[in-house]
Amino acid sequence: MSSAKWKWIVGFGLCFAALTLAGLLWWDAPVANAIREGAGKNFKNTARFFSRYGDFPYLLGAGILALGWIWWRGLWHREWSRIIVAMILSSVLAGLASNVIKLGAGRVRPRVTSVEQGWHGPRHNGKWVSLDHDFQSFPSSHAACAFGFFFPLFFSRRAAGLVGLVAAGLVSWSRIQLNAHHVSDIATGALIGLLAGWLVWHWIVKQESLSRWLPASSR
């Protein structure tokens, strides 16, 4: 891998880690309280749009449609087939990882007022809460899936990938604006997406794995 890509990976990784730390130490509660009191309320509909269409089922659907278009145009032999498969698999991996962490973290979502805010683990008040939506704040699966989807594209095609990362950032912002996640939840999800994106990109695009199903790239 080129030194330029390593610089991007390290740079994004440090940025997401710093945002996670800043959220946990200073920003999480003040941001959640400000939104609860009406900050950014004029952008609620915009936030709902990005939150809905940035969720994994829509990302998966977009990836499948892109693969279908490549097949229909007769471009299956080109590198784009590997890039799109890497995007889909990276999003799946990031989503799975984030949801596994959720099961044990038990962090209460910032919009929940019926339960004390905090980290309660898989059990709270003698009940299992791992699958309770109110206790699945950390980390954000929306952020993990969105960044996981677009990072393989960024590593392969910088300009197009940058547009994708902006979209992932808007999805992440929407989750904060809707008071579904804290800042640290989003930043940790983005970090998971980065790690999944690099691993899958390196395996499928760089190393040209899955050669039984995917042809060699045209590089």
Q: Say how many residues make up the chain.
A: 219
Predicted pLDDT at 1: 61
The closest alpha carbon to 118, from 178, 28, 191, 216, belongs to: 28
CB 175 within 8 A of CB 147: no
- Residue 72 pLDDT level (bands cut at 50, 70, 90): confident
Residues 28, 108: Cα–Cα separation, whole Å: 12
pLDDT tens digits, one per residue of 108-149: 999 999 999 999 999 999 999 999 999 999 999 999 999 999
CB 108 within 8 A of CB 120: yes
CB 105 within 8 A of CB 122: no
Predicted pLDDT at 80: 87
- Residue 66 pLDDT level (bands cut at 50, 70, 90): very high
Mean pLDDT of 87-116: 96
Residue that the structure tokens 């498969």 belong to: 85
The closest alpha carbon to 18, from 212, 191, 218, belongs to: 191
Give kind and range of the element (H or E) at residue 127.
Answer: strand 127-128
pLDDT tens digits, one per residue of 167-196: 999 999 999 999 999 999 999 999 999 999
Residues 199, 182: Cα–Cα separation, whole Å: 26
